[in-house]
Homo-oligomer: A and B are copies of this chain.
Amino acid sequence: MKPKKRVTIYDIAKKLNLTASSVSRALNNSSHVNENTKQLILKTAAEMNYKPNSLASNLRKGKTQTIGVVVPRINQNFFANVISGIEEAIYQKGYNLIICQSNENHEKEVQCVNTLMNQHVDCIVISVSADGNDYSHLQNALDHNIQLIQFDRVAENLETLKVINDTEQASFEAVSHLIEQGYKRIALLEGPQVLGIFRQRRDGYLNALKTNNLPVDESLIIPNSWTKEQTTANVRALLSMPNPPDAIFASRDDFSALGVLEVANDMGVKVPEELGICGYSNEAFTQITSPSITTVDQHAVYIGQTVSNLYFHEAEAKGKEKESRNSPKTISIKPKLLIRGSTQRNK
């Protein structure tokens, strides 16, 4: 089999005794081309199995109709769903998606952003990694006039478009719900406090206690741990205290909540009677454990759609008026507390 060069618009032009410009026009259905020749060109292009070369086209046009996303991990439900939301929305506009994962590694994140810049994506959508708080790579992207949209985990003092959850409020509601159910000693499993979203979850927790005149017991606030084993050990220690908590808000994520449930089962602690458990992020499994786990849904898909809409809205605006670019607009989406079995006491 011979190498078989890819057919270009020149090949089509030659075959039809036309010129490349006409072919290009027809292919982009410009109005400045005769309807008949246009049909002819389209037909021959199909016959010759022509595939446009996006590289060339993008290089020439200076834009790629491509959006790049950087997330810590794509195999986390929340991110996978946000990406689905973005993808769905941009796809129908003929845009493409390049997905990179930083693996929670700052260096890799920098590399991802650079790659995307080199690829000349029209927009970079990012949720920053938990590792490191140097955002010069993002500033750099901004300096290069690249549309930047942050979501969920955002570098706050970077002036970009942002789509976030009202995390503190959600956290406040979750803890308030626990208090309503009669839980009085509520422990908190924290996420990494370098990230704003986890500080906000802590703030919401503290706020709810304060609002309800409950004391804050520092020994009930457990700092983030990176391994499952460590989490399990922490929870076990917590439940073995002389004066153990009667509820645990696993603000880190549902996986830690699941860990709590496991330990509770293991130690014979009844959920929700003796221990209330609330997780965060509405992983699919929280619905089917027994008891099912109360959690916070972040509307991930909707966040993705919002990001896309924001981009297109901004892109249009940029087209019309000058200088509206990278206006530091922030859209806040209200998460929803899903009350399930793990916090519903049969009083």
Q: Which residues of A contact B (CB under 8 A)?
A: 1, 3-4, 6, 49, 51-56, 58-59, 64, 73-75, 77, 80-81, 83-84, 87-88, 91, 96-101, 103, 108, 114-115, 117-120, 140, 143-145, 255, 258-259, 261-262, 265, 283-285, 288-290, 323
- When A4-B144, A96-B98 are in contact, do A120 and B53 touch as well, CB less than 8 Å? yes
Other-chain contact of A55, B52, B59, B115, B144 (Cβ < 8 Å): B59
Other-chain contact of A114, B51, B83, B87 (Cβ < 8 Å): B51
Chain B residue, CB-CB nearest to A77: B75
Q: Please give, as numbers and ranges, the residues of chain B lying within 8 Å of A140 by CB-CB distance.
A: 49
Other-chain contact of A285, B114, B118, B284 (Cβ < 8 Å): B284
Other-chain contact of A118, B3, B53, B81, B120 (Cβ < 8 Å): B53
Q: A281 CB to closest chain B CB, in angstroms?
A: 13
**Measured CA separation A81–B81 after assembly (Å):** 15
**Measured CA separation A323–B100 after assembly (Å):** 33
Q: Please give, as numbers and ranges, the residues of chain B lying within 8 Å of A1 by CB-CB distance.
A: 323
14 A-B pairs within 8 Å (CB atoms) are namely: A3-B145, A4-B144, A49-B140, A51-B114, A53-B120, A55-B55, A74-B99, A75-B83, A84-B101, A96-B100, A98-B99, A258-B288, A261-B288, A262-B288
Q: Please give, as numbers and ranges, the residues of chain B lying within 8 Å of A88 by CB-CB distance.
A: 103
**Measured CA separation A289–B286 after assembly (Å):** 9
Chain B residue, CB-CB nearest to A56: B59
Q: A234 CB to closest chain B CB, in angstroms?
A: 17
Q: A259 CB to closest chain B CB, in angstroms?
A: 8
Chain B residue, CB-CB nearest to A2: B145
Pairwise interchain contact B55-A119, C-beta atoms closer than 8 A: yes
Q: Please give, as numbers and ranges, the residues of chain B lying within 8 Å of A74 by CB-CB distance.
A: 74, 80, 83-84, 99
- When A4-B144, A74-B83, A255-B284 are in contact, do A59 and B64 touch as well, CB less than 8 Å? no
Q: A264 CB to closest chain B CB, in angstroms?
A: 11
Q: Please give, as numbers and ranges, the residues of chain B lying within 8 Å of A96 by CB-CB distance.
A: 98, 100, 115, 119
Pairwise interchain contact B288-A290, C-beta atoms closer than 8 A: no
Q: A109 CB to closest chain B CB, in angstroms?
A: 12
Pairwise interchain contact B80-A118, C-beta atoms closer than 8 A: no
Q: A162 CB to closest chain B CB, in angstroms?
A: 20
Chain B residue, CB-CB nearest to A83: B74
Chain B residue, CB-CB nearest to A84: B75
Q: Please give, as numbers and ranges, the residues of chain B lying within 8 Å of A53 by CB-CB distance.
A: 59, 118, 120
Q: Please give, as numbers and ranges, the residues of chain B lying within 8 Å of A91 by CB-CB distance.
A: 108
Other-chain contact of A145, B4, B100, B290 (Cβ < 8 Å): B4
Other-chain contact of A288, B56, B98, B285 (Cβ < 8 Å): B285
Q: Please give, as numbers and ranges, the residues of chain B lying within 8 Å of A4 by CB-CB distance.
A: 143-145
Pairwise interchain contact B285-A265, C-beta atoms closer than 8 A: no
Q: Please give, as numbers and ranges, the residues of chain B lying within 8 Å of A119 by CB-CB distance.
A: 54-55, 96
Q: A146 CB to closest chain B CB, in angstroms?
A: 10
Q: A91 CB to closest chain B CB, in angstroms?
A: 8
Q: Please give, as numbers and ranges, the residues of chain B lying within 8 Å of A98 by CB-CB distance.
A: 96-99
**Measured CA separation A103–B80 after assembly (Å):** 13
Pairwise interchain contact A51-B115, C-beta atoms closer than 8 A: no
- Which 8 A-B pairs give the minimum distances between C-beta atoms? A285-B285, A75-B80, A99-B99, A54-B118, A55-B59, A258-B288, A54-B119, A98-B98
